[in-house]
A and B are shown apart, each in its own frame.
Chain A
Amino acid sequence: MSPPRRNCSWELGTGNLAKTRNWNWKLSKLGTGNSEGPGSIRMGAMASQPAQPPPVYDWAKLVGHSLKQNGAWATYEKLLEARRAYPEDLLLRGYAEIVRNTIVRDLLGSPKGLQSAPKLTPEFLTDFDRFNLTAQEGYLISLIDGRISLDMLLKLTPFDNFTTLFTIAKLQNQRAISMPS
Chain B
Amino acid sequence: MNDLRLSLLDNIPSAIAVVHMEGGITYRNRSFDDWFGKGADEWMQRSARTVGGERGWLQTFFLDEKVDHSLDIEFNGRVYRVERIEHRGDRNQVALSFEDVTRQRESEQAKSDFTSMIVHDLRGPLSGIQGTLEFVLSQESARLDSLYEELLREASREAERMMSLINELLDFSKIESGNFDVGSDSVPIAAVLKRSVHSLQTVAGRDNIHLVSGHGIDLPMLTGSEEKLTQAIINLISNSLKFTPSRGVISIGAQVLRDQGGPKSIIITVTDSGMGIAVDDLEKLFEKYKQSKNKSFRGGGGTGLGLYIVKQIVEAHGGHVNIASIQGVGTSMIIDIPVKRAA
Q: Is B273 an interface residue (CB 8 A)?
A: yes
B260 an interface residue at 8 Å Cβ cutoff? yes
Interface residues of B in 302-332 (CB under 8 A from A): 320, 322-332
Q: Are A98 and B327 in contact (CB under 8 A)?
A: no
Interface residues of A in 64-90 (CB under 8 A from B): 64, 67, 90
- Is B130 part of the binding interface, using a Cβ–Cβ cutoff of 8 Å? no
B255 at the interface (CB under 8 A from A): yes
Cα separation A93 to B270 with both chains bound (whole Å) = 11
Known contacts A41-B258, A101-B251, A109-B247; A161 and B214 CB within 8 A of each other: yes
- Give A91-128 as 1s and 0s: 1 = Cβ < 8 Å from B's Cβ atoms: 11111011011101100110001100000000000000
Main secondary structure of the interface of B (DSSP, over half): strand
B255 near A101: Cβ-Cβ < 8 Å: no
Q: Are B216 and A160 in contact (CB under 8 A)?
A: yes
Chain A contacts for B254, CB-based, 8 A: 38
Q: Return the contact of A160 from the options B214, B320, B329 (Cβ within 8 A).
A: B214
Whether B221 is near chain A, meaning CB under 8 Å from some CB there, is no
Contact partners of A166 in chain B: CB under 8 A: 214
A-B contact count (CB 8 A): 126
Q: Which residue of the partner chain A has the closest CB to B216? A: A38
Asked if B269 CB lies within 8 Å of chain A CBs, one says yes
A39 proximal to B (CB < 8 A): yes
Q: How far is the CA of A59 from the CA of B304 in the complex (A)?
A: 27
Q: A95 near B216 (CB under 8 angstroms)?
A: no
Whether the Cβ atoms of B332 and A41 lie closer than 8 Å is: no
- In the complex, the answer to whether B216 meets A100 with C-beta atoms within 8 Å is no
Are A47 and B260 in contact, CB atoms less than 8 angstroms apart?
Answer: yes
A156 interfacial contact with B, CB 8 Å: no
For the complex, give the distance between the alpha carbons of A90 and B324 in Å. 9
Shortest CB distance A113–B (Å): 8
The answer to whether B258 and A95 have CB atoms under 8 Å apart is: no
B253 contacts partner chain A, Cβ-Cβ < 8 Å: yes
**Could you say which of A59, A92, A93, A108 contacts B249, with CB atoms under 8 Å apart?**
A108
B331 near A39 with CB under 8 A, answer: no
Residues on the B chain within 8 Å of A1, using CB: none
Give the total of B residues in contact with A, Cβ under 8 Å: 43
Once the chains bind, are B214 and A162 in contact (CB under 8 Å)?
yes
The answer to whether A60 touches B272, judged by C-beta atoms less than 8 angstroms apart, is no
Chain B residues within an 8 Å CB radius of A58: 279
Knowing A41-B255, A43-B264, say if A101 contacts B327 (CB, 8 Å).
no
Of A41, A43, A91, A160, most buried by chain B (CB within 10 Å of CB) is A160
Q: Does B110 contact A (CB under 8 A)?
A: no
Does B213 sit within 8 A of A, measured CB to CB?
yes
Is B174 in the interface zone, CB < 8 Å from A?
Answer: no
The CA-CA distance from A113 to B247 in the complex, in Å, is 9
- Residue A149 is within 8 A (CB to CB) of chain B in the complex: no
Q: Is the CB of B251 within 8 A of A40?
A: no
A81 → chain B closest CB, angstroms: 17
Name the A residues within 8 Å of B325 (CB-CB): 60, 98
Say yes or no: A105 contacts B249, CB within 8 Å.
Answer: yes
Interface membership of A42, Cβ < 8 A: yes
Q: How far is the CA of A127 from the CA of B279 in the complex (A)?
A: 47
Q: Is B196 an interface residue (CB 8 A)?
A: no
- Expressed in whole angstroms, the Cα–Cα distance for A113 and B254 within the complex equals 25
Among residues 223 to 264 in chain B, which have CB atoms less than 8 Å away from a CB atom of chain A?
Answer: 247-260, 263-264
Task: Report how far A13 CA is from B30 CA in the complex, Å.
Answer: 68
Question: For residues 323 through 343 of chain B, which have their beta carbon under 8 Å from a beta carbon of chain A?
Answer: 323-334, 336
B: residues with CB less than 8 A from A are 210, 212-216, 247-260, 263-264, 267, 269, 271-273, 279, 320, 322-334, 336
Q: A97-B334, A98-B332 are in contact. List 14 more A-B contacts (CB 8 A).
A: A38-B215, A58-B279, A60-B326, A90-B267, A90-B320, A93-B334, A95-B326, A98-B331, A101-B250, A104-B212, A108-B249, A114-B210, A161-B213, A162-B252
A positions within 8 Å CB-CB of B: 38-44, 47, 58-60, 63-64, 67, 90-95, 97-98, 100-102, 104-105, 108-109, 113-114, 160-163, 165-166
